[in-house]
Amino acid sequence: MEILFVMTISLFPFALVILFAACYNKITDKKSRIPFDYARTARIPAFTLLQQHRDSSLDMLVYTLLSTLYFQLPFSLPTIAELLGFVDVSKNWLIYGIIFFAAAIYSLSKALRAFSKIRIARLGIEAEWAVSFALSKISDNRVRVFHDVQAPNFNIDHVLTFPGGVLAIETKGRRKPNVKNSKSSHKLTVEGEKIQFPHYTDTSTVEQAKRQADWLSKQLTQSTGMNVVASPVVVIPGWFIEYKQKPVIPIMNHNSLTKHYALSKKTVLDNSSLDRINHQLEALTMRGSDLF
C-alpha cells in the first residue's frame, strides 16, 4: 500500500493537468457551440486518414509521457518516500527501478510505433490531397466528385460520376528512394496486376481497387434500383509509370486523371440516373456524427 500511495503523490501533477484540460473544455462548450450540424457535412479528402493521424498522434503523446514518467519514477520515489517516512519503499528501490525501466522501454517502443503510423498516414493524406486537387480542375458541370466514401469495413478514396459512368479511385501514396544519378528511382512499371516499384513489388493494390469497385457497383445498384457499374482506377501520385504489359485496370499518376475520365465519349448515364447515383453517394459521404 505504501508504494501505491507514493506513486499517487508522484502522479498528482499529471492528473492535475488532465483535470484542468477536461474542466476547461467543459466550461468552453457551455459558453459557445459550433453553429452548424457536424453530422450533415460531407467528409473531406483523406478524412479517414486524418482520423488515423489524430489517433496515432494522441497515442504517441500518451506513450511518450508515460515513458518519461516511468523513467523518472525510480529516482523520484525514494525522495518522496523518505519525505513521507516510508522506509520500505526505499529499501526495495532496485526492484521498483527494474519494473519501471521495463515499463518505460515498452512505452517508448509504443511511441515509436505510433510515430511510424503518423508518417504513413501523412503520406497517404498528401497523396489524397494531390488527387483531389487534380480532380478539382475538372470544369465539366456534369461531373461530381465524392471523397472518402464509406463502406462497412473500408473506404473508397474518391468516386467520380459523369455521363460516361462511375469511377472508384484508389489512391496510393508511395515514397521515392533517394538514389543519386538513378533514372529508375522516379519510375514504376506495371505488368498486369503487378506494380513494380524500385524497392518492392505491389501485388495487392489492383485487387483491392477491384473489390472496392465491385462493392460500390452492388451498393449503387441496390439503392438506385438500376444497374450501375463502377470502374476501378488506381492513382499513384508523383510517379512516372511505364507499362510493360496492359494493366488489368487503369493505373496512372494524378496528372492523368483529368484526361482519363474524358476518354469515354459514350453516354452511359443520363441526368436522371446521375442524380439518383449522386444522391446515394452523398449519403455515403456524410460524417454522420461530430466525431473527428
Q: Provide the pLDDT for residue 147.
A: 96
Q: Provide the pLDDT for residue 41.
A: 84
Q: Provide the pLDDT for residue 26.
A: 82
Q: Which residues of 112-148 are buried (b: 16+ CB within 10 A; e: fewer)?
A: eebeebbeebbbbbebbbbbbebbeebeeeebbbbbb
Consecutive 10-residue runs of the chain (292 residues): their mean pLDDT?
60 75 81 73 91 94 88 72 59 74 93 96 96 91 93 94 94 86 78 90 94 96 94 94 90 86 75 95 85 67
The position carrying cell 457536424 is 38
Q: Provide the pLDDT for residue 192.
A: 87
Q: Under a CB-based contact definition with an 8 Å cutoff, are residues 113 and 91 in contact? A: no
Alpha-carbon torsion 176, 182, 186, 190, what sign?
negative
